[in-house]
């Protein structure tokens, strides 16, 4: 069996922390041959998509053969693991991957769903599970929402890893000026949510595989910050899932399975859904280290059982 991983440049990947590295190594342990490439290595000639890729031995990290050209239909599975931002290059890559899909190749996550499920806006499908939320670009509507809820967070729709997320009180004299800034003078929509004080105790990253929660960690903010993202200095902790969190996973599962979102990371704060991460979910290494489970191997076994 042959798997292709579309990833960021190898030099940027830290194998002791990176979920893509964990998945590649688990796939190798399952006797799957691994190739790697960048999204810019994809191409199509007519209705045949191809790639310039390198065969890899990911464990120990990493031995690469010389790049060669392959038809995408030569691979049994293609993992789209390019990190955000979801820019034009990312979107065009998903279109090229759909050519491979039409030739019978399994692509994870499903390219059309990668386009449709913005990691902030995708959660609106389940708004009844979320804290009060508005997405808008108009200062008037955003200001009214902030005054209604007192303290809010503002999130750029294309952000990642907590970057650009702002917490502000409606009593701040600079509220309207800040909203003008983050919306580029009412030209760019942002997400605004009621601030949940529970985030001070952390938020949970829950990893769902084919709709089932296989692992989770709590991420606690560093002192002086409300953002708990690991990339911003948050501390991972072992955790269990509450009945409420399990119910959230159960509610999401049918839609995730239907939409071809096989490997997903959701964020939950105080029992409320915050985000649904579909592009390149992280957290495998932290779950494995804290919860003492072989999560990456479980992901690969679920893949083989589900599709092959």
Compute the distance between CA of residue 139 and CA of residue 28 in angstroms, rounded to an integer. 52
267 is catalytic: yes
275 is catalytic: yes
Catalytic residue chosen out of the listed positions 227, 259, 286, 288: 227
Three-class SS string for the chain? CEEEEECCCHHHCCCCCCHHHHHHHHHHHCCCEEEEECHHHEEEECCEEEEEEEEEECCCCCEECCCEEEEHHHCCEEEECCCCCCCHHHHHHHHHHHHHHHCCCEEECCHHHHHHCCCCHHHHHHHHHECCEEEECCHHHHHHHHHHHCEEEEEECCCCCCCCCEEEECCCCCHHHHHHHHCCCCCCCEEEEECCHHHHHCEEEEEEECCEEEEEEEEECCCCCCCCCHHHCCEEEECCCCHHHHHHHHHHHHHHHHCCCCEEEEEEECCEEEEEECCCCCCHHHHHHHHCCCHHHHHHHHHHHHHC
Catalytic residue chosen out of the listed positions 18, 119, 203, 275: 275
Cβ pair 91, 17 in contact under 8 A: no
227 is catalytic: yes
Catalytic residue chosen out of the listed positions 81, 110, 219, 285: 219
Question: Residue 2: what are its φ and ψ, rounded to 5°?
Answer: -125, 125
120 is catalytic: yes
201 is catalytic: no
277 is catalytic: yes
Cβ pair 216, 239 in contact under 8 A: yes
Q: How far is CA 302 from CA 278, 296, 306, 307, in A?
A: 17, 10, 6, 8
220 is catalytic: no
Catalytic residue chosen out of the listed positions 81, 82, 110, 155: 155
Catalytic residue chosen out of the listed positions 81, 82, 204, 205: 205
Both structure tokens of 103:
């030739």
Catalytic residue chosen out of the listed positions 109, 245, 277, 288: 277
Catalytic residue chosen out of the listed positions 267, 285, 286, 288: 267
Catalytic residue chosen out of the listed positions 120, 194, 204, 285: 120
205 is catalytic: yes
Catalytic residues: 120, 155, 205, 219, 227, 267, 275, 277
């Amino acid at each position: 069996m042959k798997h292709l991983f579309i990833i960021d440049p190898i030099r940027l990947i830290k194998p002791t922390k990176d979920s893509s590295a964990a998945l590649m190594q688990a796939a190798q342990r399952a006797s799957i041959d691994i190739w790697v490439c960048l999204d810019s290595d994809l191409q199509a000639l007519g209705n045949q998509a191809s790639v310039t890729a390198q065969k890899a031995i990911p464990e120990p990290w990493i031995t690469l053969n010389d790049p060669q050209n392959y038809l995408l239909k030569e691979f049994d599975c293609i993992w789209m693991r390019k990190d955000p931002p979801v820019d034009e290059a990312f979107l065009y890559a998903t279109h090229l991957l759909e050519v491979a899909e039409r030739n019978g190749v399994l692509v994870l996550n499903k390219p059309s769903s990668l386009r449709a499920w913005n990691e902030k806006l995708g959660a609106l499908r389940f708004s009844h599970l979320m804290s009060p939320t508005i997405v808008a670009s108009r200062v008037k509507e955003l200001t009214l929402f902030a005054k209604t809820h007192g303290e809010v967070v503002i999130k750029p729709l294309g952000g990642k890893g907590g970057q650009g997320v702002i917490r502000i009180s409606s009593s701040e004299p600079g509220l309207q000026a800040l909203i003008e800034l983050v919306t580029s003078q009412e030209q760019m929509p942002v997400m605004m949510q009621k601030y949940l004080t529970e985030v001070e105790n952390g938020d949970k990253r829950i990893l769902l595989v084919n709709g089932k929660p296989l692992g989770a960690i709590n991420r606690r903010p560093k002192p002086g910050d409300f953002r708990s993202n690991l990339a911003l200095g948050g501390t991972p902790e072992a955790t269990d899932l509450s009945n409420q969190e399990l119910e959230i996973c159960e509610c999401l599962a049918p839609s995730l399975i239907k939409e071809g979102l096989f490997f997903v990371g959701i964020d939950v704060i105080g029992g409320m859904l915050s985000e649904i991460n579909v592009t390149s979910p992280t957290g495998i290494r932290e779950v494995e280290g804290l919860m003492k489970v072989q999560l990456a191997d479980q992901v690969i076994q679920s893949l083989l059982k589900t599709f092959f």
